[in-house]
Amino acid sequence: MFEHTYDTDDAIAALATPWGTSALALIRGSGGGSLELLEKVFSPLSRLREAAGGTFLHGVLSDPVSGEPLDDVVVLVFRSPASYTGEDGFDISCHGSLPGIASILEALRNAGFRDAGPGEFTMRAFLNGKMDLTRAEAVREIVESKSRKAHSLALQRLSGAIAKRIKLLRSKLLDTAGKIELALDYPEDELDETIVLDSGPVNEVIADLKGLLSTFSTGRLFQAGARVAVCGRTNAGKSSLFNLFLKEDRSIVSEVHGTTRDYIESWINIGGIPIRLFDTAGLRDGGDAVEIEGIRRTRELIDAVDLVLYLVDAQAGVAGEDADFLNRPGNKGRTIPVWNKTDLTDGAAPAGYVPVSVVSGEGFHRLEERIAGHFLKTAYTGDEAVIDSQRQKECLESALDSLEHVKAGIENDVSLDAVAADLQGALLAFGELSGEITAAEVLDTIFSKFCVGK
Amino acid sequence: MFEHTYDTDDAIAALATPWGTSALALIRGSGGGSLELLEKVFSPLSRLREAAGGTFLHGVLSDPVSGEPLDDVVVLVFRSPASYTGEDGFDISCHGSLPGIASILEALRNAGFRDAGPGEFTMRAFLNGKMDLTRAEAVREIVESKSRKAHSLALQRLSGAIAKRIKLLRSKLLDTAGKIELALDYPEDELDETIVLDSGPVNEVIADLKGLLSTFSTGRLFQAGARVAVCGRTNAGKSSLFNLFLKEDRSIVSEVHGTTRDYIESWINIGGIPIRLFDTAGLRDGGDAVEIEGIRRTRELIDAVDLVLYLVDAQAGVAGEDADFLNRPGNKGRTIPVWNKTDLTDGAAPAGYVPVSVVSGEGFHRLEERIAGHFLKTAYTGDEAVIDSQRQKECLESALDSLEHVKAGIENDVSLDAVAADLQGALLAFGELSGEITAAEVLDTIFSKFCVGK
């Protein structure tokens, strides 16, 4: 069908679960002849040959070269077209042992399987007509979602919410497209009635497209998340606040890891928004060359984040350095000032500050609300499909642009040829969105972002 | 049957694959009524009800409380007794999304499942007679094995190699046991012939037990691995050697992580032996209180490891400090001196040193052979079952001890009552080994070491 980086008809296999010690692991295989190749490693052979699709077998895997037994496994048998990819295939459920997984993958290679590339199973599902491109992208978005909200939005896309919406928009344009085609094919005098183009349906589609495009920032927010840095002077309580966020967030356990000596970071979850939180406790003036480099990197980080939580120690009060930071033009509108250590002082917080005590936890919930509010104030809150993919956004923008031309053309009585070309452009953009019309390199780009095994 | 920490007849569920973002994840459930409870979250309901054991279904999971759809899944249906645990149960293959996995586990809890404890599935398999205790322990050993050799030894145990061996030893004792029983039950004059006890079979079993026990250190070596530290003066090339080991070892990818400021460590694999390798580059004299504490900890580490690779810089030659270390009584016999930087010097290495260049890699393979040789020189190399479990070792020692008494009793014509009691003790120890006779708390201890989901 297309020229892809990947072959699309050989037998592929990959570990589909994370590389780690655990009770079980899943190894997935697919492709023409994959069940026959599996016969080289699975016994009892006869049961595999007889197995109907949709059944699973208990058996032993052995290396086809050495004959050495490798593991007790359960094999799920998929027979085309009733599988994820649409091809013959299998899932092997084996023990979650690192050397065991490695030896099974090697045995599959010895039997003739190729290691699957990222997203290759889903790419095959797409190429075999098991799902359109918006659903295929949703598979990746589901896997990579960092909060329940993001997961639920992606699941909605997997169910085809966007594909259905686009189909509807497209159908609204077909009447106009038909009329134009008729007018272009037949001279006016051969037709019974004069063709009058009405921009109404096009306007409707334009309005709908704008609505869909407006959901993009919301989609991105929930899928890609936002970057938030905890800043402030030494001893303002930055690391304590950072740790408090980690402790409160039970929804996703992510490891805290120091990327550099300069700051540490962790994913947390506030109001369903995945937040990549940075602790800049390493930031301090002076020091040797390494420290100066560290400070430079931390400053770059602060400039790049979406939101800064700026802590002021209520006992120390607002110092010149604090005021400088808060008043800097680049920081306004993306900084929440936090008045910390309210447990140690009596005075009220200055206007605009969120009073908290990172020791007692007092005020912490209000701070979370302020953060969520900051991001959600422009968010789309409807219950229709929300887009998150940059590619989908570009397709929609391209369609919108073409339709604006169509609209202007109709309203200004421009030549029908030009209007027809623009309308064709819009329909093409919809086709690209769903994947009906897509260049091979575009597909390769899309699927290369997937996990291996998907 | 026993009073366990775990209930043994309720419905349990757990994630069986590692907690991480990936293509797929497996969630496992088991217990009486588990398929009925699954009906609360799975649709289409009718297909689940009709599903035969050994088949799998594609469907959607939803939360039983909110009704919210959670994921597209494949469900494997197990019907008692054809399952791992022997009970009704299922495996859910879902998308490997962290929020998705968390929401499915919550939905299962809402439907009435309890979170499974470590090893609880395997414990049920044991209690339901699906496997004896040596096989159950092998399940954990397979999952935790750190090299192919360890994996293959554990797989041999899973196939029942130890259980079969013990059964054979036991049967060899039954004739002796029968004779003693007869003699105790009937006064001598009631029997047709005089009962003569022969210590031959007991001697055979004793010899065999000793053989089996001698495999323990080999089993431990491959399963638990050995600890090796890279030591030497500043600039001897410690960290370069450490990194070279990591680069060469492609069999297990483990992350390098600094446990303290004082040393970093990683699992590597030399000749099938899992090696926990420590880089002590942080070791240096003097400094502040923190550094002194670090040095103390590093020294403790060096005293505790099984083998030290002591690097000497060939350009700098053997200094007094090096000689002190190598001559210290506690270090002899567990130190391999390494003559590094042969690429920069011409002279031969001093006797006993392994010459290497960590820059060019020259001599590295020889060093690996020396390390493997150090550990394997006393290893068991036969092809019979190898034991690795401390518990199994203790059972075998207890049986051996009892049989030595039986032997002495027979040879010295001790009263039959005493011999009978000792023989009973040996048979009891075999029963404990296979799990036929085991106290509940012993089982709890065994299974609590497992992964959750196994």
For the segment B135-172, what is each residue's pLDDT rounded down to a tens digit? 999 998 888 888 888 888 888 888 888 999 999 999 99
- Tell me the backbone φ, ψ of residue A9, rounded to 5 degrees: -135, 15
Q: B370 vs chain A: nearest CA distance in angstroms?
A: 23
Residue B324 is predicted with a pLDDT of 92
**The tokens of A11 are what?**
């037998």
CATH fold of A2-132: Gyrase A; domain 2 (3.30.1360)
Q: Which residues of A touch B26 (CB under 8 A)?
A: 17, 24, 26, 93
- pLDDT reported for residue B262: 53
Listed residue (A413, A390, A76) closest to B57, CA to CA = A76
pLDDT in tens, A79-107: 999 999 999 999 999 999 988 999 999 99
Q: Could B151 and A24 be called an inter-chain contact, meaning their C-beta atoms sit closer than 8 Å?
A: no
Per-residue model confidence as pLDDT tens digits over B322-341: 999 999 988 988 999 999 99
Q: What is the pLDDT of residues B353-402, one digit of tens each?
A: 999 999 899 999 999 999 999 998 877 777 678 888 889 999 999 999 99
Q: Which two tokens stand for residue B362?
A: 């020259």
How confident is the prediction along chain A (454 residues), in pLDDT tens digits per residue?
Answer: 445 667 778 999 999 998 888 999 999 999 999 999 999 999 999 999 999 999 999 999 999 999 999 999 999 999 999 999 999 999 999 999 988 999 999 999 999 999 998 899 999 999 999 999 999 999 988 888 888 888 888 888 888 889 999 999 999 998 888 888 888 887 766 766 677 788 899 999 999 999 999 899 888 898 888 999 999 988 888 888 988 888 765 443 344 433 334 567 888 889 889 899 988 865 555 555 556 666 777 888 899 999 999 999 999 999 999 999 999 988 988 999 999 999 988 888 999 999 999 989 999 999 999 999 999 887 777 767 888 888 999 999 999 999 999 999 999 988 888 999 999 999 999 999 988 877 777 777 778 888 888 8
- How many A-B residue pairs are in contact by the CB < 8 A criterion? 178
Contacts of residue B63, defined as CB under 8 A and 6 or more positions apart, other chains included, come to: B41, B70, B103, B106, B107, B110
Could you give the CA distance from residue A35 to residue A369 in angstroms, rounded to a whole number?
54
β-bridge pairing A354-355 and A273-279:
unpaired
Among A56, A103, A453, select the one facing B23 at the smallest CB separation: A453
Can you list the pairs that B175-182 forms with residues at least 24 positions away whose Cβ atoms lie under 8 Å? B175/B201, B176/B201, B176/B202, B176/B406, B176/B423, B177/B420, B177/B423, B177/B427, B180/B416, B180/B419, B180/B420, B180/B423, B181/B420
Would you state the pLDDT for residue A287? 55
Q: What is the helix, strand, coil percentage profile of chain B, to 5?
A: 45, 20, 35
Instruction: State the pLDDT confidence band at B347, using cuts at 50, 70 and 90.
Output: confident
Q: Name the token pair of B207.
A: 């010899």
Contact B95 A147 (CB under 8 A): no
Average pLDDT over residues B274-289: 70
Amino acid in the structure at residue B38: L
B101-127: average pLDDT:
94
* Rounded Cα–Cα distance for residues A260 and A263 (Å): 6
| Element at B284 (helix H, strand E) | none
CA B143 to chain CA centroid, Å, is: 8
Cα distance between residue B246 and residue B262, in whole Å: 19
Scan residues 194-253 of A and list those with Cβ closer than 8 Å to B: 251-253
Whole-number pLDDT of residue A19: 86
CA angle B138, B141, B147 (to 5 degrees): 130
Given CB atoms, is B74 within the 8 Å cutoff of chain A? Answer: yes
Partner A contacted by B67 (CB < 8 A): no
A403, A406, A412, A414: CA torsion to nearest 10: 150
The 10s digit of each residue's pLDDT in B6-44 is 777 899 999 999 888 899 999 999 999 999 999 999 999
d(CA B334, CA A270): 53
Please state which of the four CATH numbers 3.40.50.720, 3.40.50.300, 3.40.190.100, 3.40.190.10 is assigned to the domain occupying A222-375: 3.40.50.300
pLDDT score, position B143: 87
Domain locations along chain B: 2-132, 160-215+386-435, 222-375
pLDDT at A383: 66
pLDDT for position A284: 53
Alpha-carbon gap, residue B13 to B319, rounded angstroms: 61
Distance from CA of B276 to the nearest CA of A (A): 16
Q: Does domain A160-215+386-435 have CATH number 1.10.3720.10?
A: no
B158 touches A: beta carbon within 8 Å: yes
Partner B contacted by A97 (CB < 8 A): yes
Determine, for residues B103 and A159 on separate chains, whether the beta-carbon distance falls below 8 Å: no
pLDDT at B244 over 70: yes
Cα nearest neighbour of A102 on chain B:
B251
Please check whether residue B327 touches A, CB under 8 A. Answer: no
Specify the 3-state DSSP secondary structure of A451.
Answer: coil
**Residue among A400, A391, A448 nearest A422 (CA):** A400
Q: Chain A contact for B428, CB < 8 A? A: no
Segment B173-197 shows an average pLDDT of 79
A203-to-A80, A180, A425 alpha-carbon distances in Å: 44, 17, 16
What whole-number percentage of chain B has pLDDT above 70?
Answer: 91
Q: Which of B48, B98, B159 to mutate to test the interface with A (most CBs of A within 10 A)?
A: B98
Q: For residue B75, which residues of chain A lie inside 8 Å, CB to CB?
A: none
Beta bridge partners of A14: A28
Confidence of residue B296 (pLDDT cuts 50, 70, 90): confident
Q: Is the pTM of this model over 0.90?
A: no
Using a CB–CB cutoff of 8 Å, tell me whether A23 touches chain B. Answer: yes
How close does chain A come to B53, measured CA to CA in Å?
Answer: 9
Pairs from A203-208 (Cβ < 8 Å, separation ≥ 24): A203/A407, A204/A172, A205/A169, A205/A172, A205/A173, A205/A403, A206/A400, A206/A403, A206/A404, A206/A407, A208/A165, A208/A169
Rg for chain B, CA atoms, rounded? 29
Structure tokens at A346: 């009596």
User: How far does the CA of residue A160 sit from the closest CA of chain B (Å)?
Assistant: 13
